[in-house]
Chain A
Amino acid sequence: MQGILKKISQINFGLLSPENIRKMSVTKIVTPDTYDEDGYPIEAGLMDPRLGVIDPGLRCRSCGSKGGDCQGHFGHINLARPVIHVGFADTIHKILRSTCSNCGRVLLTESEIAEYKEKIGTKHQNEESINDIVKEIYTVARRDKCPHCDEDKEEIKIDKPVSIVEGNYKLTSSEVRERLEKVNEDDYILMGINPDVAKPEWMVLTVLPVPPVTVRPSITLETGERSEDDLTHKLVDILRINQRLKENMEAGAPQLIVEDLWELLQYHVTTYFDNEASGVPPARHRSGRPLKTLAQRLKGKEGRFRSNLSGKRVNFSARTVISPDPNISINEVGVPEMIAKEVTVPVYVTDWNMEDMKEHIENGPEIHPGANYVIRPDERKIRVYDETKESILEKLEPGYVVERHLMDGDIVLFNRQPSLHRMSMMAHEVKVLPYKTFRLNLCVCPPYNADFDGDEMNMHVFQTEESRAEAKSLMRVQEHILSPRFGGPIIGGIHDHISGAYLLTREGSEFEEDYVYQMIKKSNLPFPEPKNKPWTGKEVFSLLLPDDLNMVYRAEICRKCDECLRQECKNDAYVVIEDGQLISGAIDEKAFGAFSGKILDSIVKDYGTDKAREFLDSATKLAISGIMKRGFTTSTADEEIPQEAKERIEELLNMAEKRVEQLIEAYHNDELEALPGRSLRETLEMKIMQVLGESRDKSGEIAESYFGMDNHAVIMALTGARGSMLNLTQIAACVGQQSVRGGRIERGYSKRTLPHFKEGELGAKASGFVHSSYKEGLDPLEFFFHAMGGREGLVDTAIRTAQSGYMQRRLVNALQDLSVQTDGTVRDNRGIIIQSKYGEDGVDPAKSDYGKVADIDRMIEEMRIKSKAK
């Protein structure tokens, strides 16, 4: 097949045989000591020079390569008595339980054996797992009598971690090994053992491989003392006991002593493999810290896999707290000087930048636009010090590389975890700033999902010209204004940008010309001709728009009236832009907000990302100027409603509660008619929910009718800046029904929610209807129910994030190698077609019109406006 790089046909897992262990060993290890008095490694000791070298300069006694190049060589220890390998204790137990101790056959009848072998054969042919069949065999092959030789089978139990007990007798490791040797080779496959690569008796160790010194390097402390690795400590223990056991056996010591030593050897070998095995007290260091042995090196979050193979630490990166800076562009990131002096950019010295680089070196590592290292053409790295400066400057010539400090305009990668989509890592331009936080423009908060309550972010500095060029064209912030998720902007105005733009452009807002010029200057816009009269906000905002922009849309503040008055809309919600002039309508979230900004969307699509970035930078600054002229604040006073309104709401809620009582009464008198497909009780519950829901909505409507557009909280809610009308009416009028598991609250005591109610009480108050508003305050019962609903919400979000995180991980793993080819097909890394046209329509969602190829209606409307304007 074409385009295939490498194809792994098979991976075999097997056991190391004692012969194999001896074959790969370069030396037998006998002495438990490591170094002699002179500090030289002892031959046949744990630091035997044949096991490999770590010190650079020395040559390996086994392979002859220099330290660093030699990957090390295994040694071996001959164990005086066999010991069970902890990792296989369970398997050994299962095998002994399912085989006959007399004839060594598996405890299955001949017909069963034939049947299972055939099943396994087909599984092999189909390259499927035989796990299920093996599991079944292990349950079937538990018989009291051997079907082959009629030998009675005694029950074999496992005493965790490594003791195998038959009846009341504890089998020694030698006996276990003998029995495993006896197992018939033809039956191996039935127990899931591949006879080509493993034999069950190899699970009982007679020889222990000793890993090379490179695996367990010793550390020399400042005091000159040598500190050995945990594994070496453990191997010393094993060797000591092994030696004593051997001596005792040779001297013909009593059985009891030999057995005790044997047990001890088993313990040391067990903890050497796994120091957290259940039922074994962990082996400890002299300081009392449990030793980190083989299993602990691999396992868990800090283990080799998750910490060193799936994830790695990198150089030229920085992390600190983020804070906002409305004065920098969306493309920029403010980098603290402290970081700029630490992470560097390698620059090749040429005739043209020689002077510049000399200046950097002159500044040295302490003064900001300086340099930390210089790399000579022979690849030697020299640190720039005050003392070395002179000589470096003398020798500097084209071909040298200067690692200079990060400077304004450098391209860096900026990232916030969790990196859920491609906008979580974007390329920014550096702006070196004082203080110690990363500074970012507020418009890029939505794609990173960042706020400033203590969030930290990471920065990575590109080290090659190619990566910088690629990042600049593909990963720059302005290239990601449109999200591929929904084909609209994900970067845009938030919070005050929205309220500000509304205050600036709403009907009736006027500004003196001198203030208008102040705003224009602040927003970096070109100065227009003076008008010599006050400007309307709409005229000011029009300065931002491209001269040939035409569009119509309904703003966020649109009340969705039954009959639209279009340009005569009294809410000023019908936005019309003719030839870059805002004719009618106020600017709000729908104009340039993140997630829904229509003007922003159309500028990116029609005028390009450069224009869009300029628009966004200017528009946000203009909006902030607009909000600053007037001042903007909110408090509970914004949710104040007159006494009359409170009375009306009170009356409404009382009516609703009375209505609920009537419904309950009707239910008790069997007068209620069940809705189709529901029980009487369910019908009642639905009707009550409906009545209470309506009453909450109506109370909200009453409160809303007293709110005007001069109310700051209302401005925020209606323009989409922050908060919703529901939030406001809950504060002002009525909080409403609290729910747990999608219904009214029923849990708590038997047949009632709290002891304050009668058993079986179904009323509004007894099931968590909160009559009060947040402003009035909740009574204790209401507060309790409210807390119940609130807690459910918290638990739900916690579970949701965990679940969706795992789902995302699986999805990413499945899709990571797919890519769209130049011919529009989606293929994996083997060139196999997944889709013969991307998305079946070949449309890039980020460049589409909110997911559609084109919005015809919108285009027609725009053309209509355009022709009218001419």
Chain B
Amino acid sequence: MKKQILKHKLVPDHAILSKTEANKVVKQLNVHQEQLPKIKADDPVVKEIGAKSGDVLKITRKSHTAGKFVIYRLVL
């Protein structure tokens, strides 16, 4: 029996960005890819969605201040 962790209410939306999208994000934030916040490759959600090291994830989560907030993370 495997828990469907992606459906848990405390797990925010994770999406893998394509190379072009990732480049756009990096350009938009004016950073190097390594300067993005990180997420470990063995993170349960990362494993679940099948992201690889070097991918950039788009995480959409609830926020106290902004309602909804998008954060980008680099998979280590």
Residues of A within 8 A of B (CB): 1-2, 823, 825, 827, 830-834, 836-837, 839-841, 843
Residues of B within 8 A of A (CB): 29-32, 34-37, 63-66, 69-72
Closest 9 CB pairs of A and B: A841-B66, A841-B65, A840-B66, A840-B69, A840-B63, A832-B35, A840-B65, A831-B35, A839-B65
B32 touches A836 (CB 8 A): no
A833 to B56, CA, bound (A): 14
A841 to B36, CA, bound (A): 18
Give chain A nearest CB distance to B39 CB in angstroms. 13
- Which B residues lie within 8 Å of A843 (CB)? 65
**CB closest chain-B residue, reference A838:** B65
- Give me 27 A-to-B residue pairs in the complex whose CB atoms sit less than 8 angstroms apart, sorted by A's number: A1-B32, A2-B32, A823-B29, A823-B30, A825-B29, A830-B35, A831-B31, A831-B32, A832-B34, A832-B35, A832-B37, A833-B29, A833-B31, A833-B35, A833-B37, A834-B37, A836-B71, A836-B72, A837-B66, A839-B65, A840-B63, A840-B64, A840-B65, A840-B66, A841-B65, A841-B66, A843-B65
Give chain A nearest CB distance to B21 CB in angstroms. 15
Interface of chain A: mostly helix, strand, loop or mixed: loop
Give chain A nearest CB distance to B72 CB in angstroms. 7
Give chain B nearest CB distance to A409 CB in angstroms. 41
- Which A residues lie within 8 Å of B37 (CB)? 832-834
- Which A residues lie within 8 Å of B34 (CB)? 1, 832
A639 to B42, CA, bound (A): 68
**CB closest chain-A residue, reference B29:** A836
- Which A residues lie within 8 Å of B29 (CB)? 823, 825, 833, 836
**CB closest chain-A residue, reference B71:** A836
A841 to B64, CA, bound (A): 9
A209 to B43, CA, bound (A): 52
Give chain A nearest CB distance to B58 CB in angstroms. 11
A839 to B36, CA, bound (A): 17
Given contacts A823-B30, A825-B29, contact A833 B65 (CB under 8 A): no
**CB closest chain-A residue, reference B30:** A823
- Which B residues lie within 8 Å of A827 (CB)? 35
- Which B residues lie within 8 Å of A841 (CB)? 63, 65-66
B36 touches A833 (CB 8 A): yes
- Which A residues lie within 8 Å of B69 (CB)? 837, 840
A833 to B36, CA, bound (A): 5
- Which A residues lie within 8 Å of B32 (CB)? 1-2, 831
Give chain B nearest CB distance to A818 CB in angstroms. 13
Q: Knowing that A827-B35, A834-B37 are A-B contacts, what are 15 other residue pairs whose CB atoms are under 8 Å apart, sorted by A's residue number?
A: A1-B32, A1-B34, A2-B32, A2-B35, A831-B32, A832-B34, A832-B35, A833-B29, A833-B35, A836-B71, A836-B72, A839-B65, A839-B66, A840-B66, A840-B69
Give chain B nearest CB distance to A119 CB in angstroms. 20
A837 to B68, CA, bound (A): 12
**CB closest chain-A residue, reference B63:** A840
A836 to B69, CA, bound (A): 10
A839 to B66, CA, bound (A): 8
Residue picked from B30, B35, B37, most chain A C-beta under 10 Å: B35
A1 to B31, CA, bound (A): 10
- Which A residues lie within 8 Å of B65 (CB)? 839-841, 843
Give chain B nearest CB distance to A485 CB in angstroms. 15
**CB closest chain-A residue, reference B35:** A832
- Which A residues lie within 8 Å of B64 (CB)? 840
- Which A residues lie within 8 Å of B30 (CB)? 823
Give chain B nearest CB distance to A2 CB in angstroms. 6
- Which A residues lie within 8 Å of B35 (CB)? 1-2, 827, 830-833
A825 to B36, CA, bound (A): 11
A827 to B63, CA, bound (A): 19
- Which B residues lie within 8 Å of A823 (CB)? 29-30
**CB closest chain-A residue, reference B37:** A833
- Which A residues lie within 8 Å of B71 (CB)? 836
A287 to B31, CA, bound (A): 65
- Which B residues lie within 8 Å of A837 (CB)? 66, 69
A620 to B3, CA, bound (A): 64
Residue picked from A831, A836, A839, A843, most chain B C-beta under 10 Å: A836
A830 to B36, CA, bound (A): 11
Residue picked from A2, A823, A827, A833, most chain B C-beta under 10 Å: A833
Give chain A nearest CB distance to B37 CB in angstroms. 6
**CB closest chain-A residue, reference B38:** A832
- Which A residues lie within 8 Å of B63 (CB)? 840-841
- Which B residues lie within 8 Å of A830 (CB)? 35
**CB closest chain-B residue, reference A835:** B71
Give chain A nearest CB distance to B73 CB in angstroms. 10
- Which B residues lie within 8 Å of A832 (CB)? 34-37
A827 to B37, CA, bound (A): 10
A796 to B51, CA, bound (A): 50
A811 to B34, CA, bound (A): 25
A793 to B66, CA, bound (A): 39
Give chain B nearest CB distance to A848 CB in angstroms. 10
Give chain A nearest CB distance to B63 CB in angstroms. 4
Give chain B nearest CB distance to A331 CB in angstroms. 33
